[in-house]
Structure 1
Amino acid sequence: MSAPTVRMAGRCFYQLYKLSNSAGRTAAGKTGIRLFSGALVEHAAGPWRLLGAACVQRLAVISEDQRPLEARFSELMHQMELERSLMSDHELRLLDDKERLRRRQAVDYDSEEEEEADRDQDIVLTQDLEDAWEQRLKLFATQPRTRGEVDARVERSDRWLAEPLLLLTQQEVGPERLWLLPQTPWEGGETLKTTAQRALSSTPGLDLQTVFLGSAPCGLYKYRLPRSVRGSEGVTGVKVFFFKAVLRGPLPPPAPSSLWVRKSELKDYLKPSYLDKIRPFLLDL
C-alpha cells in the first residue's frame, strides 16, 4: 500500500517542480521579481518607476480635551469613588489630632501621661502639614494645553501636542515643487522598506528616531506620466509605496523644507488625489 502512495507523491512533486521552473523562466524573461519584505533582484524592468515613501507620524503627547459627555461621566465616577472609598492615612490622622485636642480640654486631663506617650516622636499637627502643602501648591504652575504662537508654526514638531502630526517634505516633481511624504526612487538590491528608510535619512536637516510598523506597504499611489515624457524616459508612470512609521525619542528641531501638520491641515498642502490615498491609513492615536 505504501509503494503506490510514494510514486504518486513523487509524481506530484515533479510536476510542481516543472511548473515552478517554467513560471520562473517566463517571469524572468519579462520583468524582474520584486519582493516587499525580502531581498530584491538586480533589476526591475517594466513600464513603472518605483518609489518608496515614509509616512512618519508624531503621535499625541498629551490627552485630548474631554467632551461634555466625557466630563460629566468623569465627575460621576469621581463622586462614586469618593462615596465608596475608605479614609486615607491623612484623614485618620486628622481624627487622631481632634481626639487628642478633646482630651487636653477635658477636666481630668493628665499631661504627664500624654507627654510620656509622645516623648520619642516629634509631634507635627495635620494642620501644619496642610499649610505646608498649600504653600507648595501655590508654587506649582501647569503648562497651557494650547500655545498660540507655537501651534501656528507648522515647521515645529512640538505644536498641537494633543493631536498627531504628519511629516511633509518639499520635493521637486518635474517642473513643480510639491509637499509630499518623504520619498525616493527604488534602487536595485534593496527592499521597498529600505527605500522608504533611505528617503527619510537622506532628507536634509532631518535627524529622526523612528520605528517602522511592519515590512509591507500600507498604501499605493500611482499616476501616469505625460506622453511627452514617456517616450524620453521609457516609463509609463510612477508607483509610490507607503510605509508607516512613528516618531520615537525627543522631538526634533525644525528642519528646512519640512512641515509637521495635523490631519485637518493636509488639504492645504497635498493634492486631493494624493491625499485620498494616504488618508485611510493615518493613525488617529
Structure 2
Amino acid sequence: MAAPVGRLLLGVLSCRTPVLRLTGSRGLASLAASQWMLHGAVCLKRPAVVTPPKTPLQQEVADLLQKIDLEKSLYSDHEIQLIEDKVRLQRKQADADFDSDSKDIVMAQDLEDTWEQKWKEFKMAPRLTEADNKNDRTSLNRKLDNTLVLLVKEKLGNEDVWMFPQISWQAGETMRQTAERALSTLSGELPEANFLGNAPCGYYKYKFPKTMRTEDTLGAKVFFFKAMLKSSELQTSKQKGEYVWVSKDELKDYLKPAYLSAVEKFVIEI
C-alpha cells in the first residue's frame, strides 16, 4: 500500500533475508503484537499471449539460420514425391501406355495448389485488438505480446491510491493464505491462478498518515507474492475505473514513486 507520507523500507527478499522468518507462526504473532499491521499482497500476472515482434537483428539471425538449415537438410517426403512425379510425367510423355491406370493418383503439385489456395484464404488474427485501439486498460485482451499485472484502486484516508490487491493478515493464516484471500475478495471466489512459491518476493513498509495512526497502530508491513493467471478472464467485483491491467512500463502512470520503486524490482517481463 502506498502512503502520501512516511518512510519507505523495501527490498526484494532472498533466502538469507530475515523477513522470510516472518511467514512462520511465531514470527507473524510477534509482528502482530507490534505497532505494525501485516498485509498480504499479490502480484497477479497475465502472461504474454503472443511472441513479441522480432528486432531487425533477430530477424537477420533467423533468416541466416533458416538458410543454413535449408542448405544442409535432406529432402522431405513431399520434395521426394515432386521428383518422382516429374520422372513419372517424363516417362508418360515418352510412352503413352505407361502408367495408364494411375489417373486418380494425386500429384504433389496438385497438393501444393490446394495448400496455396487455403493459404490465400487464411487470415491471421490481428496483434492489436479493440481494447488496444480504445486504450481500455480494464481489458485482459490488450498488449498480447506483453505481460500484464493487476492493479486496484483503494481508499487510504481521504486519498484514492493504486496498488496490488492486498488485505490484512488474520491470526492463524500464513502470509501466502492472506495473499490468496486478497485475490479471492476481488471476485468472490479464488480465481484460477498459480502462486509461485510460499515465500514473499518483495517487502514494503510504510507509516500511516497521522490522521489514521493510533496508539497501537503506527503503519503497515506488506508482503508481496507472485501469481500467474490461468484463465483468460477475471470477473472482478470492482467497477471499471477501479482496476486496470497494465504492463511494466505503464506502472508509473498509477503507482506512487515510493511504491513503484518497491515493486518494479520483482515485476519483470517474461
> Are the counterparts in 2 of residues 57 and 166 from structure 1 also a CA contact under 8 Å?
yes
Where does residue 3 of structure 1 map in the other structure? none
Question: Which of 23, 34, 38 is the aligned partner of 1:46?
Answer: 34
Is 2:253 the counterpart of 1:268?
yes
* Correspondence for 1:36: 23
Counterpart in the other structure of 2:244: 259
The equivalences for 1:211-226 within 5 A come to 211-226=194-209
* Equivalent residue, structure 2, for 1:76: 64
- Secondary structure of the residue aligned to 2:99 is helix
CA distance in 2 between partners of 1:64 and 1:135 (Å):
28
Partners in 2 of 1:54 and 1:228 — Cα distance? 27
Greater radius of gyration (CA):
1
Task: Indicate conservation of the 8 Å contact 1:53/1:196, yes or no.
Answer: yes
User: Higher RCO, 1 or 2 (CA under 8 Å, sep at least 6)?
Assistant: 2
State whether residues 251 and 260 of structure 2, in contact with CA within 8 Å, keep that contact through their aligned partners in structure 1. yes
Determine helix, strand or coil for the equivalent of 2:145: coil
Q: 2:147 aligns with which of 144, 155, 164?
A: 164
**Matched pairs, number:** 245
Residue number in structure 2 paired with 1:124: 106
The residue type equivalent to 2:105 in the other structure is I
Please state if 1:135 is matched with 2:117: yes
* TM-score using structure 1 length: 0.79
CA distance in 2, matches of 1:60, 1:251: 14
- Counterpart of 2:205, as a letter, is K
Q: 1:205 to 1:260 in 2, by over 3 A?
A: farther
8 Å Cα contact 1:49-1:238 kept in structure 2: yes
Is this contact kept in 1: 2:42–2:183, CA < 8 A? yes
| Contact 1:156–1:253 (8 Å) recurs in 2 | no
What's the TM-score, normalizing by structure 2?
0.83
* Partner SS, residue 85 of structure 2: helix
| Identity, % of aligned positions | 42
For 2:261, what is the secondary structure of its paired residue?
helix
Rounded Cα–Cα distance in structure 2 between residues aligned with 1:207 and 1:196 = 11
Match of 1:193 among 176, 191, 199: 176
Unaligned runs of 5+ in 1: 1-33
Which of 152, 158, 165 pairs up with 1:175?
158
Q: Secondary structure at the match of 2:100?
A: helix
Distance 1:204 1:91 in 2: 55
Tell me how far 1:114 sits from its aligned partner. 2.4
Alignment of 1:115 with 2:100, yes or no, is yes
Q: Which structure 2 segments of 5+ residues have no match?
A: 1-20
Rate the CA distance shift 1:237–1:80 in 2: closer, same or farther, 3 A: same
Distance 1:283 1:216, change over 3 A: same
Conservation of the 8 A alpha-carbon contact between 1:207 and 1:252: no
Q: 1:243 aligns with which of 196, 220, 225?
A: 225
- Alignment check: 8 A CA contact 1:165 1:261 kept: yes
User: Which region of structure 1 is more displaced relative to structure 2, 49-58 or 130-139?
Assistant: 130-139
Superposed CA RMSD in Å reads 2.4
1:144 counterpart residue number? 126
Bigger drift between 147-156 and 81-90 goes to 147-156
C-alpha separation in 1, matches of 2:79 and 2:31: 75
Q: 1:140 to 1:228 in 2, by over 3 A?
A: closer
- Rate the CA distance shift 1:206–1:263 in 2: closer, same or farther, 3 A: farther
Bigger helix fraction: 1
Displacement of 1:96 after TM fit?
Answer: 1.3
1:149, distance to aligned residue in structure 2 (A): 4.1
Give the match for residue 5 of structure 1: none
